Amino acid sequence: MAEILADNKNQNYRIVQITDSHLFADRKTIFDGLNTFDTLCDVVNLVIKQQKNIDLVLCTGDLAQDTSIQAYYNFVDALAPLSAPQLWIPGNHDIRSRMQQSLEQNCIHLKRSAQLGNWRIIMLNSNVEGHVYGLLDQKELADLDLELADSERNGSHVLVCVHHNCLPVQAAWLQQHCLKNADELFSVLDQYSHVRGILYGHIHQEFESSRNDVKIMAAPSTCIQFHPTNDNFTIDNAQPGYRWLNLGADGTIESGVERVSGKSYNIDFRSTGC
């Protein structure tokens, strides 16, 4: 069922999360004052400097802003120096079929799941065409249940990835665009005791919490950041970044966020939306 990326169950695995790059077909396009292709490359260079032997890159949506196939080719090019397998899920700005068309290279997948030693990574599509908010339809929830049952049988720990936030954020404008049926997600997850983490993007900010001993994490965008508490759309002055995770063979998750430093960007703080 799951794509097997590594089979050593006694090993720890290193994962990098790259999210919300909001790329355009034209690599020179400026978005809210930033060249999003350049900031993605800045983040990738930071990853190369800081992370050795990456086992998997999780790309958690809003990879393109203009939904062009070329934007996805640009994303593939920007991440090529990482030389690691990638799993993608769509965000509200993405079109899954166009993502699929761009995935001609090996080691990049829009797969449901992957097995990394003692870990099952499960990818959920929360995209609702034409809407900013997210929803897991009945097929996604049923597939999640199947993956959880299968991974429980083989003794794996589980990390679930989805684009939209399943825990609330403080900023009201952003919270209305959350995963609308987080309760249904949790009611599936709560039937199992081997789920260790949930990872998402979408909120363009660092976030870390837990629920029933499950670690819940989000990463900064590789471009603009959202102010975490303002109820109206406000761009924060935090730098672009990424999240790293160390998945222990014993089911533990160590994780942290790193941001680009030593560069200043001409962010348009007057922007009223993304």
92 near Fe ion (CB under 5 A): yes
20 near Fe ion (CB under 5 A): yes
Interacting span for Fe ion (CB under 5 A) from 66-74, 86-94, 115-123, 261-269: 86-94
Interacting span for Fe ion (CB under 5 A) from 51-59, 83-91, 151-159, 191-199: 83-91
Compute the least distance from the CB of residue 13 to Fe ion, in Å.
Answer: 26
Interacting span for Fe ion (CB under 5 A) from 4-12, 98-106, 180-188, 196-204: 196-204
Closest CB to Fe ion among residues 157, 202? 202
CB of 204 closer than 8 Å to CB of 225: yes
Say which residues have a Cβ less than 8 Å from residue 15's Cβ, sequence separation at least 6: 54, 55, 56, 57, 58, 116, 159, 244, 245, 246, 247
Which tokens hold the place of 183? 């309760």
Closest CB to Fe ion among residues 91, 117? 91
Instruction: Give the Cα-Cα-Cα angle 205, 39, 103 (nearest 5 degrees).
Output: 90
236 near Fe ion (CB under 5 A): no
- The rounded distance, in Å, linking the Cα atoms of 16 and 268 is 28
Interacting span for Fe ion (CB under 5 A) from 39-47, 64-72, 84-92, 226-234: 84-92
CB of 128 closer than 8 Å to CB of 135: yes
| Sign of the torsion angle spanned by Cα atoms 261, 264, 270, 272 | negative
Question: Which residues, numbered 50-69, are part of the site for Fe ion (CB under 5 A)?
Answer: 62
- The rounded distance, in Å, linking the Cα atoms of 243 and 18 is 7
- The rounded distance, in Å, linking the Cα atoms of 228 and 242 is 17
Q: Which of 85, 91, 117, 240 binds Fe ion (CB under 5 A)?
A: 91
Compute the least distance from the CB of residue 222 to Fe ion, in Å.
Answer: 10
Closest CB to Fe ion among residues 42, 62? 62
Write the secondary structure of 9-37 as one string of H (helix), E (strand) and C (coil).
CCCCEEEEEECCCCECCCCCCEECCEEHH
Closest CB to Fe ion among residues 36, 92? 92
Interacting span for Fe ion (CB under 5 A) from 64-72, 101-109, 118-126, 198-206: 198-206
* Contacts to Fe ion by CB under 5 A: 20, 62, 91-92, 202
